[in-house]
Structure 1
């Protein structure tokens, strides 16, 4: 699991300054244009109703800094909005501010995700059940509760990741005016940040670098370390924690790939020509590799211990039925309902049938539930060559599938 990396690519196209330098060092004294430090509030779309307070200063723009916010209209034309050259006044202070912001709001952010209208019902149900499970674990006074810690770190990781994928804007709460940092709110109906003031681009680049290197990478390591320990335990008790964190991690892997493909222009304000396959392929391949490592752990973990033990009467030969003895009724129902929705009913609304069967090419990996759906495939094996799969020619390891017993309906299980 140590190979898994959930970070988005480093280069946003805003500046040619080194990524690590953006995360660790302030601009030099020669680069500042003004000594005046201003405090503004930053909001990230869909992340949290509470703002992040940041302190900023004007700096002298270099020729390689692309600080305008550009959009592509429906007709394909490009429009540019001038934004002033502001940067973070102090990178270290901002890092501390974001840490406090994360610690105070990771639960509030998760609740907003649950309540958000656009959240897929399956994702909403999993986040809600995960939050309820976390609340129950918080009543445990064991300071070394790995389940509670892995859920807490995952919730923070989710918030940090989404901060790196969603567009942001600034405002000045002290004045409440339609103007901030010398810029008026957007009035163009075509603009993705209508009635907002887009965050100055250098601030976006600096915050992105800070959150990716100091939070996403660190939290990913913590989550995977503790999750791997739960996977290695010969106990049934942590089953639901293992299941729900794995499921939601696979969902986040799909989201990051989808963002890199479709959402980067709105986030960065930098318009790029359609990316060539050789540009997107390495990142997509890395994320597929992440997903397959998680799935390998999951499918090995969930199997019944040996051939002499009867399989679960719902999941068949592939599930250790002892896992279900220590989960609550609502947790068990969620797992079984999702099993039906993603394994048997994917053709209705979740996937195109041909794509799901592997003949649709690249787009399949971008669906936010594709990798999570692979948790419910009997006799799942990883694809050894991702690019070959995208061409419709999978090269999987030799495998002799077993025949699972007939699966009862969800309604029958509910009555039981």
Structure 2
């Protein structure tokens, strides 16, 4: 398939092969003569070392163990003993390193000199860039510009146009970092450690049902009345969008009775209602988004490769957990804990509904962060890094789907913080600038490794696939149809993608996703702080 370098957005790059260089190399190769033969000849995992010349041989002989007679009924096993005690003249003269090599059956590594040791120590201390890490080589910094690109990225061999970014996939963040639950709800928890409440106002236990109005997903909680402490909020407070007036709605002093046991309920909901969350948060009129999420959802249960199946499932779990933190809950069912519906603000989303007590909201935030988001973030990081490091063509589709979901997740979080800035009537366009800059930089880390794996070549670029592409990626008919359709959609959406990037619309759904298809991708010039 011919490369079309003029097209700025392409779907799936693959590796390219320089066959002419291979033919020239083969034609210029000359076999060595007998006089230039190697001194060591490899046989499987052992090496045979020819004896030295007679004048150079060590005439010291070592008596070997006697060979057992064939008439003995059970001759002893002498293989391991012989390897330790039998010493031939040529082996006695061999260096210790060669003898160690013969025992282990592998080539020893050459000792580093002082300069190499210093460079290796510097790489371990300061980190390796993406290119050097993927090539498993020493990342040597430029002595004239230590903070700039490394020597390998500056060399002529650096064909792939990716930034010299000294970060790893485990350095990326996928959700906003939290040190403690929201302090305006309660100050009972200074960290994200799960600590149970041990002082209660009553022994009465009730069942409270909460919903976010996302399909049939709901949380069933066992709650108990608490003794309010300083820092516990007993009211829901907000500012009117239209007038700026501050409202206060009274709630009840209740909390979750057993947080550790309750933590299993949200995780079950996440597994059971992934498709409901996709239908709720993904625009149903956007076929590229819908088809990509549904393909990831299907492969999370049907992929033949277990590590890819688990990775997709964990990414979707993490995506759902992030969405749950951006949409408020309300009380449903008969049990209302004596609270009244909110009737103060007609323009508020929960008008006529019963709000959740703030302490319960803080507990759910803690459980979501400590027992769901953090463990699954760690799993996704390690699993994605391992899959990318393998550089297997048949795993490309899984890597693409994971990157797509994580980048779209960042767009949704950015849109959430823009909406929050409006609700708080801030002068800035976005709320929590530092958090967003960390999330956006994490996207750059993911894109750096993604474009390195793709190598900048073309595949499915014009909406059709070659037989080589299908064979390399090991696609079935459903996956092939999905990629062909996606290529056409990317081409159709190219104007809106280009506009989102040129105008730095970080909250646009395709601002980050469009960078997957840019073969000339570079780090963005503008950040969320520069557009305030």
TM-score bracket, normalised by the shorter chain, equals 0.7 to 0.9
TM-score (norm 2): 0.59
Query: What is residue 233 of structure 1 aligned with on the other side?
Result: 390
Task: Tell me how far 1:234 sits from its aligned partner.
Answer: 3.4
User: Which one scores higher on RCO, CA 8 angstroms, separation ≥ 6?
Assistant: 2
Question: Normalized against structure 1, the TM-score is what?
Answer: 0.74
Counterpart among 498, 509, 513 of residue 372 in structure 1: 513
Q: Which runs of 5+ in 2 are unaligned?
A: 1-168
Give the superposition deviation at 1:186: 4.3
Determine whether 1:24 maps to 2:165: no
Q: Alignment partner for residue 6 of structure 1, among 174, 179, 192?
A: 174
The range that moved more, 234-243 or 57-66, is 57-66
2:244 and 2:221 map into 1 onto residues whose CA distance is: 35
CA distance in 2, matches of 1:58, 1:146: 44
* SS, match of residue 257 in structure 1: helix
Distance in 2 separating the partners of 1:35 and 1:132: 46
Q: Distance in 1 between matches of 2:530 and 2:483?
A: 28
Mapped to 2, the partners of 1:213 and 1:114 lie a distance apart of 26
Alpha carbons 1:53, 1:97 under 8 Å: kept: yes
Give secondary structure in 2 for the equivalent of 1:131.
Answer: helix
1:343, CA displacement in angstroms?
Answer: 5.8
Correspondence 1:182 to 2:349? no
**Residues 222 and 258 of structure 2 are in contact (CA less than 8 Å); yes or no, is this contact kept in structure 1?**
yes
Cα offset, 1:231, TM superposition: 1.2
For residue 412 of structure 1, what is the aligned residue in structure 2?
none
Q: Note if contact 1:122-1:338 (Cα within 8 Å) is conserved in structure 2.
A: yes
- The structure whose Rg is larger is 2
Matched, 1:157 2:302: no
Matched, 1:209 2:359: no
Return the offset for 1:55: 1.2
The corresponding residue for 2:501 is 356
> Is the CA contact (8 Å cut-off) linking 1:69 and 1:201 kept in structure 2?
yes
Q: What is the match of residue 461 of structure 2?
A: 314
Alignment of 1:35-50 (within 5 A): 35-46=203-214, 48-50=215-217
Aligned 1:1-400 pairs, distance under 5 A: 1-10=169-178, 12-15=182-185, 17=187, 19=189, 21=191, 23-29=193-199, 32-46=200-214, 48-71=215-238, 72-99=240-267, 101-102=268-269, 105-114=270-279, 118-119=283-284, 120-137=286-303, 140=304, 145-172=306-333, 177=334, 180-186=336-342, 189-263=346-420, 272=424, 274=426, 280-303=432-455, 311-312=458-459, 314=461, 322=469, 325-342=473-490, 345-347=493-495, 350=496, 353=499, 355-357=500-502, 360-361=503-504, 364-383=505-524, 386=527, 390=531
Contact 1:14 1:202 in 2 (8 A): no
Structure 1 window deviating more from structure 2 (6-15 vs 366-375): it is 6-15
The structure in which a higher percent of residues are helix is 1
In 2, the alpha carbon distance for the partners of 1:22 and 1:312 equals 45
Change (3 A) 1:351 1:373: closer
* Post-superposition offset of 1:288: 0.5
Cα 1:311–1:15, aligned 2, differ >3 Å: closer, same or farther? Answer: closer
